[in-house]
Structure 1
Amino acid sequence: MSRNRVIILNSARNLIAVIFTYSVMVSSSHAAPEVEAYIGQPLGVARVTVDVFRGEPSLPLNDERFTVAEKDGRAIYPVVKVEPARQFLRGLLGIQTPRTVTMYFLFRGDEPFDISAYSPVEQGVRIKPQRNAQGHQRLLGEWWEQLTQRWSRLQKDPEFPPIAENFLVASFARRLNRPVPKIGGGLFGLQEKDSALQEMFGGEAALLAVDREMVLGTSADSQELQELPPPPNWTAVEVDESKLDEVPLEALATHVPEECFYLRFGNFNNYFWFRDFNAKWDGDLKNMLMRRGIKGNQMSRIEQQLSLRENVLSRVLAPQFISDAALIGLDPYMRQGAAIGILVQARNNQLLSQDFMRQRRDSLQYFPDATETTVSIAGKDVSLISTPDGQLRTYYAQSGDFHLVTTSRKIVERFFEAGEGDHSLASLPSFRQARQKLLLEKEHTIFGFFSEKFFQNLLSPEYWVEARRRQQAAQQSHLVEMARYAAECEGLPAITTEELIATGILPKGFGIRADGSRIEETDDGHLDSLRGTPGFFVPVGDIDVKQASAAELEAYRKFLASFAEEVGEMPPIAFGVQRLPRTPEEDHTLHIDAIAAPLGKVRLGRLIDSLGEPIDEQMKPISGNVVSLEAVLDLPVPLIGGGSQPHLLFGGLRDFRSPLVVKQGKVSPGVARSELVRGYVGAWPRPGLLEMLQGPEHANGPEPQALGDQMWQAQSDNFLLISFKPDVIREVEPQLGFEPAERPAQVRVRADDLTGKQISETVSALAYSRTRETSVSPSRMMNSLANLLHVPREDCLKFAERLVDGKFACALGGEYQLYETEGSLPVWSSTALPVSNRFMLTEVPEGFKVAFLEWFRGMQGDLRVADGELSAHVELMMAPDALP
């Protein structure tokens, strides 16, 4: 960087500092609060600006302690004004705490009143509302802008589930006749599209969208029903079946419907291992990297429905009378109640049948209202034990040596049909091709297969429409609860859904679904008239859907168009997991192979499309590397003529200790970028993408040469090497070379065991910041519910857990408690957070170690995309504690 440029930047920084400091002095020169308030419809609106209490070293405005309250509850729906430009300037100048804070809120009534403005210490403020229609509209617009900005920020970067914010935005968009803003993404405010895969699998973003539609009233539809359209005309999966005649298959696959997902364990010991592994990480493999804040209870509900209770004796005896086992299902909708089952092959039919019947009899004793009936399915007698609310729904079917326990009548029907040769998984060419590539003889601990028929079934009009109706039915009771709190906030006497609709809190037609089903409130909770208890719904495949409303069909068409643009078509996907036989005291290795083939019309994204041809060589291991990565690329290089330059791009991270500091609640580097990372990037046999870094300064020879002010480069034998450190180049350059690879691939990665490495401290410090945010997320949601909807603070934990359908689990291992704070409102927080870190990260505790460092002992993997197939191989070394 030139000297003149440095002078200009420093002068600009100083000028900004002067301007900002002056503006802060002016804005904070008035000791008295600034108040503006107007009476109007549907509610009055006010703005108050008060000094920030500066008794703490740093105060973020987003810790939910900044709010307003009034003794009779007249001040409602408060929102803090956030000014990104001023936040940016404060960060630039190192100012951690603003001097003043502005808060907007709505209010009931016309008379003057007193509020408590918490910033975060209580300050009394007198509100004298005026009558001014124009002022009311202007200030109401400012409140709406701040509310929607908060909602939008939480949608893009979910610091906590913005369920209350989502409800208020949808409700007031309808009541004020304002559009719901688009969620901007990126520096230039580019629009962020809803994910079709999120909608397909019912993710959190999709459920928030369902909530908005219901509260806006766009999902209510009483139009005349229409016949469902035919399923999409999917491209046939092309497989050369002439090469598949001799592929060995397990007998179990001959009884699995082709549209079911298939997780095969080979034996019941592997099934128990899978169960234990799943339980160890709370049913979410993301916990292996970093603990999450919510424990789902979906698996326990499925086990309850299936009435399969494990005991010590079953672990001993089951392998003796079960030779093979698999988990199968028609969908992944565990949250509302999935179509899922356990399929086993018996060594001894009589013993296995007796064990299943014993467990089923135990369920009849456990559930007093449970009944057992014999139903006829596909001409066969099947045992069904169920309760009226669906909390127990277990079918038991047998066909020869094959036994099925499932929640779904549809799966039973297809189980019998598949066993007679009607569209079984074993007869599906894509399955046999997967078995050819992931050989049966490997005896995988887990073999998984998701056929193209599985995905096509999820995308069929019948399945999509019913899945959407189930989501609406499951969310309806939550929305009614929030609407009751909103009505109480506004002083409206409304409890029932009809009363809430009459007040305008909920829209006309709320809760009306095209199939005529209704949510009913009972002494034991909510009950859907068609599907049962939320969380235990009748499976999607068991509901006969023949017709849909015009609105549903239009939504389905839009979804298909979005799916075609974003995903294209889903290919068959197979994977296999092998455990290497080791003693319990030694490290373990998992070999994981995954294949998606044939790819057909699937859209893989720009990154995969940029890969070149696979090569059967790999870089030699570089001594001293902690992480190594290499990728074969073939793409136009910007800014240098646009021509394609096939090349190998590689890089490595060396062990280092990075000086880190806590700044404005974030862990940040405490040194210049050139001192932060000890590593390198390189290219062979031509610069490729790295030519954008080189410019005209091409390297000549293996000795490091300066590249700009902070980087160094060298070139030898067509290897270009760039690093912040010349000594790194001197260490790495002599080691560069190739060796034969076990498999052709375009992408390869290696990672060393980080135990005892300096970098592990840096990783843990950065991870603590993220883990702390995860720990804080539930408490922020609880405090937000209290502030926005006046949920009694002591009730916020249970209410928030109902909304997220799970139990909050502090990622740092603490418990959530309601803390009394002097001069301020009680707030929820975790016992794992020291006082100094409770509301803003100020320091990283000594000795913190992120979850994956406890078990990770190294990995290597590769990726290949060629010949219409994507395949990956990963070898993951793990400490014994990671596995059951």
Structure 2
Amino acid sequence: MRMWIALLGISVMSLTAAGADAAEAIAVSGQPFGVGQITVSFQKSDFGDPIDSNGFSIHETDNRIFYPAFEKQRVLGFLQALTGINNVTPPQRLTVYFLFTGTEPLDITVATPTPQKFRLTPTPPSHESMLTAMETLWWRKYHENLREQKDWANYPMVMETYMTAMLSRRLGLPAPPLSQNDLNDRDAFSPEQSVFVLLNSDKVRAAEMRSVMLDESITDPADLPSPRPINWSDIIAPRPAADVPIEPLAKAVPPDCFYIRFGKLSNYLWFNKLMEENGGDLGMMIANRGVKLELNEVVQKQLALKQSELSELFGDSVVADVAMIGRDAYTREGAAFGLIFQAKSNDLLANDINTNRRDSLKLNKKLGAKLETITIAGQEISALTTPDNKIRSFYARRGDFHLVTTSLTIAERFITLNADADSLGATAEFQQARAYLPLKREDTIFCYMSSQFFQGLYSPQYRVELRRRLRATTEIELLKMARAAAMNEGFVKLSEEELIERGFLPTSFGRRSDGSRVVEVDGALQDSLRGAPGNFLPIADVQVTKVNVAEARDFERVREFHVSHWSQMDPLMAGIYRFKLDDKGTERLTIDARMTPFVEEKYGMLTDRLGPPLTRQIAPAARDVAMLQFVLKGDSDNQLYHYALGLQDVPFPIDNYANGGLLNTLRMMQATPGYLTAWPKPGLLDKIPVIGAFAAPDQYGYSKFPLGLWRREYNGFSTLSFHFDILRNVTPQLALTEDEHPAQARIRIGDISDADVTPLANAMAQSWAKRGSLGSARLFNAVSAQLGVPEEKAKDFAEDLLALQFVCPLEGTYETTGEGAGARWRSTAWGDDQLEFEANFLKWFRGLNARVNMGDGQVVLNAELDMWREKPEPSLKLPTFNFFGLGAAPKAKEEKKPVKKPAEEVAPPPTEGRDF
């Protein structure tokens, strides 16, 4: 279809304005849509906090305006953007481009957020030559809005991708030229980027949405046999000469599972608390993220193993060992994982698990929960499930070992495992890992990911089903958005066929190779094979026996890449030991992580450029609060060069830090109290064109370059800084020292929780958090503007669409302000001058000292991480053992006095078995 449009800007109409200055506007009628443009001036009352100046909306009394695009206009706008003041200087005018239906006058309200009302009378197009110009202008502005949003988004660009593809299809408009980032995103399924598929990254989700909407996705029936797996090169892992002690638990674990062992239940409970404190996402410890996944809560509910406070008091007396195992970690979509326990008292542990399964059954009867006994490999196990897989828990026992898992496949492997022949603990590579990280270390957490685990992720089953479940997720999202868009245009309760016919859905919708489809259960959309989004059937439990031609070709490309370039998967291991540093709540984690065996040739330039491990290092200068240093090889000689990037603990001017812009970014760099140094001189620094092209240094070794950059050549070091005083003070202190441990790269960060650079760290984190907060609010406003969802329901719609929870990273609360046409989303944290923002990592981070080595067939990371954690002391009652209770514990017959929780037991500092 094509729509009648007219060249905006060729003619300007006057219009009736109520309570507003006269505006420039034009509206040209057509079929199925007309196109309009209206330009209004801002009022001073429109702006509070500058971050709040993006909540625009346009409404028409009879709901005849659709798919608007907003363009802010400033005096000298280009220069303001360049200098970084585009977010602090309010725009003077706003132009809105939009589509509309009908030929009757339009009663328009433009909210900036101050409502400005107009009546605009459409006119028919004057001549055909105006068609292309109008089409290009509105379409280009529409895409500019969406691309701008991509820079602010901290969520998958699902809605934005759908809108552009849907409008292009329905209106016969060509897709706009792809940016380089868009071109890279289109290659998300290439073998070279297969890791993004494994991670289900946002770029993969957007690429699949685009592929489905353009009818490029896999739709043919599966009529070919499953591809043969990749012929991986064997791992050369000789068994240790002497018998290495192996924990019994490892011999109850299948070798293709990841293995995170806690040693005792109290260690697991500490880790679990850490997860809960960060919303089930350890990434929240680093960044103030704008989405909350609550993965820990989802996992515990799905397994029916939510811990109780009583487990902290009595757990270690019942459980001898505990570990998390799994075939994958897709907890956002539905993972194949579980918890395995070694019991000290089989009866107590089994009774507790079974009691809580029955309690979970009662609590979830309305969800169709079912508890039954099933037989697998000749053994009876307990199955607790719901039709949508929100609860999917299989409980199996084998001697002293108790497994609760989401996966029938893992349960069957557990039951049939030959402990001495084909378990994880029986493999040569695991025994080698235990030789490197022996049991005597008594690690708080021991993590091992075998080569078989990684190979499983690249198996035909996982590659094919990952793409299929991505298609299933995409179609559920498509149907939700298509229904909303259709209803917004006045098409109520269209069937899937009608949505396809009218262009809201692609013609390939519902045509899948495995025959699955979107179904509606109790008003919620889910997949007929996999269940509800976020609780899909684990991939390990989905049998892939047939594929279609496209799926076979896709896997063949992956196979060819790995056979040619990456034929061996390297196992990973890590030991983490936790102990108390002081009585103020500070703990230290010593981390020993290794990749071994390690084949250097696979990692190309990374290993080619790094020099050998050296004990020699650049000594930190006084007042250095952080230093990163590494050793590199020269281009053509055998010379080794030491490089160090240091940050001094001195005050940092942070005014207007978050404003962006090229010159403002430069000002931030100029103000950063840091330096970059290299030894010996000359080195890489002298080969940078802008540095090497200027005059020789003066008698004291100083050279000054454009943009305020200084260099000093002193005592064999070549050092750069934007601060002359830092350069003068630091360079006399620079020297090479010897360290006990050799390394190729080192990093040291001091306690910056209350230092002179703390405002800098907070300002940086607050800048990112502010962008995330605005990006989410823009999404909610766009859901209303583009899909017609009522403003007050936009956040709920976005959360349901993306299967996540939005939280303000500034620790405010999202809310709607204004009424009617002026309603919009904002955060309570915006414009709060009294906001005491503290970056998440500053709440617990107290220091880091780490080193990295590559060579001798392995990569080794040794680190010491200091952290502070507040320890709440809840009151407990002691009625019974209820380690993982979902509900309240049974009441005691007599009232008990509250028992104060004993201080958390933390191990003493390490004395042997570790080299850090």
TM-score normalised according to structure 1 size: 0.87
1:646 paired with 2:637, answer no
- Contact 2:27-2:122 at 8 Å conserved across structures: yes
**1:404-483 alignment runs, 5 A limit:** 404-421=403-420, 423-483=422-482
- Contact 1:648-1:684 at 8 Å conserved across structures: yes
Separation (CA, whole Å) in 1 of partners of 2:685 and 2:13? 50
1:158 alignment counterpart = 153
2:111 alignment counterpart = 118
1:365 alignment counterpart = 362
Secondary structure in 1 matching 2:513: coil
Once the two structures are superposed, residues 396-418 of structure 1 have per-residue CA deviations (whole angstroms, 9 ceiling, x without a partner) of 11111111111111001111233
Percent of aligned pairs sharing the same letter? 33
- Contact 2:589-2:864 at 8 Å conserved across structures: yes
1:655 paired with 2:646, answer no
Residue of structure 1 aligned with 2:333, choices 331, 336, 360: 336
Residue of structure 2 aligned with 1:851, choices 840, 853, 861: 840
| Compared CA separation, residues 664 and 155, structure 1 to 2 (3 A) | closer
Secondary structure in 2 matching 1:762: helix
Residue of structure 1 aligned with 2:197, choices 158, 177, 199: 199
Separation (CA, whole Å) in 2 of partners of 1:85 and 1:745? 54
Q: Which amino acid aligns with 2:513?
A: A
1:325 Cα deviation after fit: 0.6
Secondary structure in 1 matching 2:529: coil
| Compared CA separation, residues 444 and 602, structure 1 to 2 (3 A) | farther
| Compared CA separation, residues 708 and 156, structure 1 to 2 (3 A) | closer
Secondary structure in 2 matching 1:720: strand
Separation (CA, whole Å) in 2 of partners of 1:493 and 1:28? 35
| Compared CA separation, residues 242 and 329, structure 1 to 2 (3 A) | closer
1:721 alignment counterpart = 719
1:851 Cα deviation after fit: 2.1
1:870 alignment counterpart = 859
Q: Which amino acid aligns with 1:658?
A: F
1:545 alignment counterpart = 544
**1:274-313 alignment runs, 5 A limit:** 274-313=271-310
1:449 Cα deviation after fit: 1.5
Separation (CA, whole Å) in 2 of partners of 1:85 and 1:32? 19
1:48 paired with 2:38, answer yes
1:742 Cα deviation after fit: 3.4
Q: Which amino acid aligns with 2:95?
A: T
Separation (CA, whole Å) in 2 of partners of 1:166 and 1:499? 21
- Contact 2:600-2:607 at 8 Å conserved across structures: no
| Compared CA separation, residues 845 and 608, structure 1 to 2 (3 A) | farther
1:135 paired with 2:155, answer no
Secondary structure in 2 matching 1:881: coil
1:265 Cα deviation after fit: 0.5
1:299 Cα deviation after fit: 2.7
Separation (CA, whole Å) in 1 of partners of 2:282 and 2:624? 27
1:227 Cα deviation after fit: 1.6
| Compared CA separation, residues 45 and 398, structure 1 to 2 (3 A) | same
1:155 Cα deviation after fit: 3.9
Separation (CA, whole Å) in 1 of partners of 2:847 and 2:395? 44
**1:483-498 alignment runs, 5 A limit:** 483-498=482-497
**1:788-799 alignment runs, 5 A limit:** 788-799=786-797
Once the two structures are superposed, residues 8-30 of structure 1 have per-residue CA deviations (whole angstroms, 9 ceiling, x without a partner) of xxxxxxxxxxxxxxxx9x99999
Q: Which amino acid aligns with 2:645?
A: G
| Compared CA separation, residues 493 and 340, structure 1 to 2 (3 A) | same
1:394 Cα deviation after fit: 1.4
| Matched positions, count | 843
Separation (CA, whole Å) in 1 of partners of 2:683 and 2:58? 57
Q: Which sits farther off after the overlay, 148-157 or 809-818? A: 148-157
1:628 Cα deviation after fit: 1.4
| Compared CA separation, residues 208 and 706, structure 1 to 2 (3 A) | closer
Separation (CA, whole Å) in 2 of partners of 1:322 and 1:345? 6
Q: Which sits farther off after the overlay, 97-106 or 272-281? A: 97-106
Secondary structure in 1 matching 2:612: coil
Q: Which amino acid aligns with 1:655?
A: D
1:189 Cα deviation after fit: 9.6
Residue of structure 1 aligned with 2:65, choices 44, 57, 75: 75
Q: Which amino acid aligns with 1:771?
A: A
1:230 Cα deviation after fit: 0.9
1:780 Cα deviation after fit: 1.8
Separation (CA, whole Å) in 2 of partners of 1:129 and 1:450? 67
- Contact 2:258-2:325 at 8 Å conserved across structures: yes
Residue of structure 2 aligned with 1:773, choices 768, 771, 774: 771
| Compared CA separation, residues 700 and 257, structure 1 to 2 (3 A) | farther
Secondary structure in 2 matching 1:509: coil
Secondary structure in 1 matching 2:870: helix
1:672 Cα deviation after fit: 5.6
1:109 paired with 2:102, answer yes
2:900 alignment counterpart = none
1:500 Cα deviation after fit: 1.2
Separation (CA, whole Å) in 2 of partners of 1:878 and 1:28? 65
1:508 Cα deviation after fit: 2.0
- Contact 1:646-1:688 at 8 Å conserved across structures: no
**1:690-839 alignment runs, 5 A limit:** 690-691=685-686, 692=688, 693-695=691-693, 697=695, 703-708=700-705, 710-820=708-818, 825-834=822-831
1:536 alignment counterpart = 535
| Compared CA separation, residues 517 and 725, structure 1 to 2 (3 A) | closer
Separation (CA, whole Å) in 1 of partners of 2:429 and 2:469? 31
Q: CA RMSD in A?
A: 3.5
1:99 alignment counterpart = 92
| Compared CA separation, residues 119 and 189, structure 1 to 2 (3 A) | farther
- Contact 1:258-1:454 at 8 Å conserved across structures: yes
- Contact 2:586-2:868 at 8 Å conserved across structures: yes
1:871 Cα deviation after fit: 1.7
Once the two structures are superposed, residues 487-523 of structure 1 have per-residue CA deviations (whole angstroms, 9 ceiling, x without a partner) of 1233334433222122221122312321112222122
Q: Which sits farther off after the overlay, 735-744 or 481-490? A: 735-744
1:181 Cα deviation after fit: 4.9
Separation (CA, whole Å) in 2 of partners of 1:271 and 1:801? 30
1:90 paired with 2:85, answer no
| Compared CA separation, residues 154 and 831, structure 1 to 2 (3 A) | closer
- Contact 1:229-1:461 at 8 Å conserved across structures: yes
| Compared CA separation, residues 38 and 673, structure 1 to 2 (3 A) | closer
Q: Which amino acid aligns with 2:811?
A: G
2:165 alignment counterpart = 170
Secondary structure in 2 matching 1:130: coil
| Compared CA separation, residues 64 and 621, structure 1 to 2 (3 A) | closer
Q: Where does structure 2 lack aligned partners over 5 or more consecutive residues?
A: 1-8, 16-20, 873-903, 905-916
2:580 alignment counterpart = 581
1:849 Cα deviation after fit: 2.6
Q: Which amino acid aligns with 1:357?
A: N
| Compared CA separation, residues 193 and 514, structure 1 to 2 (3 A) | closer
Separation (CA, whole Å) in 2 of partners of 1:775 and 1:585? 34
1:125 Cα deviation after fit: 4.7
TM-score normalised according to structure 2 size: 0.84
Q: Which amino acid aligns with 2:403?
A: L
Q: Which sits farther off after the overlay, 159-168 or 57-66? A: 57-66
1:85 Cα deviation after fit: 12
1:12 alignment counterpart = none
Secondary structure in 2 matching 1:580: strand
- Contact 2:616-2:739 at 8 Å conserved across structures: yes
Separation (CA, whole Å) in 1 of partners of 2:655 and 2:428? 57
Q: Which amino acid aligns with 2:589?
A: L
Q: Which amino acid aligns with 2:536?
A: F
- Contact 1:112-1:129 at 8 Å conserved across structures: no
Once the two structures are superposed, residues 547-572 of structure 1 have per-residue CA deviations (whole angstroms, 9 ceiling, x without a partner) of 12223334445666788999886522
